Amino acid sequence: MRYRRAIKAFDPAKPLDQADFDFIVEAARLSPSSHGLEPWHLWHIASPDLRAKLVEQAKINPPQGADASHLVVITAKTAQGIDPDGEYLGHVATTVQQQPEDVIAQRRVMFKGFLTDRMGVYGDPAAMFGYTCRQAYIALGNMLTAAAMIGVDSCPIEGMDHAAATAVLAEAGVIDPVYDAVAVAAVFGYRSEDPKRPQTRRPATEVLHTI
């Protein structure tokens, strides 16, 4: 946790090993999510053209966006993408979780009730997207920690025009923005210089309150 820093300067000549990248992706894939719905996708932007478009049009923080070995954009399900009556819930419940049809029908009703009564987000597209983004950020956090465990540097990136990033991916035909939109991004690689400032955190006594 101390080794992991939000690295600003990456060495463009130092690529990540495929096995290391796989390890980082596995940390995201195995992340927990509300109702086990994994409402995220990871987009490893391996195409130089697409990466350049994202950096330019979505104004991804230039040094990290352009220089780090791997850029991963994380999309989260929109309100329509995570709709309790929608296709995605059916896909996860059937194909991934192997649940029978009658259980899935009950689940749809229960999930809608959960979003309405417990989370208070149903019917509000921005709040629904916030709900799915929160899950995506757990995957993000696990990727950052997993990377640090194997000595890989990273930087999470919210510093971008999210609408433009979604538009770039939609124009490239990789997402349908009705169902998926950009939540956050991250870069992975190796630092070319250490962070200028030391890592600072509030003391544990200010963070943890035993009441």
Ligand X SMILES: Cc1cc2nc3c(=O)[nH]c(=O)nc-3n(C[C@H](O)[C@H](O)[C@H](O)COP(=O)(O)O)c2cc1C
Q: CB-based contacts of 99: which residues, under 8 Å, 6+ apart?
A: 93, 107
Token pair for 208: 């943890």
**In this complex, which beta carbon is closest to ligand X, that of residue 108 or of residue 162?**
162
- Nearest-approach distance from CB 109 to ligand X, in angstroms: 34
- Interface residues toward ligand X, by CB under 6 A: 5-6, 8, 61, 155-159, 184, 195, 199
- Tell me whether residue 110 or residue 126 sits nearer to ligand X (CB atom): 126
C-beta of 206: minimal distance to ligand X in Å?
16
Neighbouring-strand partners of residue 180: 77
What's the min distance (Å) between Cβ of 159 and ligand X?
3
Q: By the 8 A CB rule, do 190 and 5 touch?
A: no
Instruction: Write out the H or E segment, with its range, that includes residue 146.
Output: helix 125-149
What sign has the CA pseudo-torsion 76, 80, 83, 87?
negative
Please report how close the Cβ of residue 134 comes to ligand X at its closest, in angstroms: 11
**Closest residue (Cβ) to ligand X?**
159
Q: Which C-beta is closer to ligand X: that of 7 or that of 89? A: 7
> Looking at the DSSP assignment, which residues form a beta bridge with residue 154?
6, 188
By beta-carbon proximity to ligand X, the closer residue of 111 and 188 is: 188
Q: Give the tokens for residue 13.
A: 């000549």
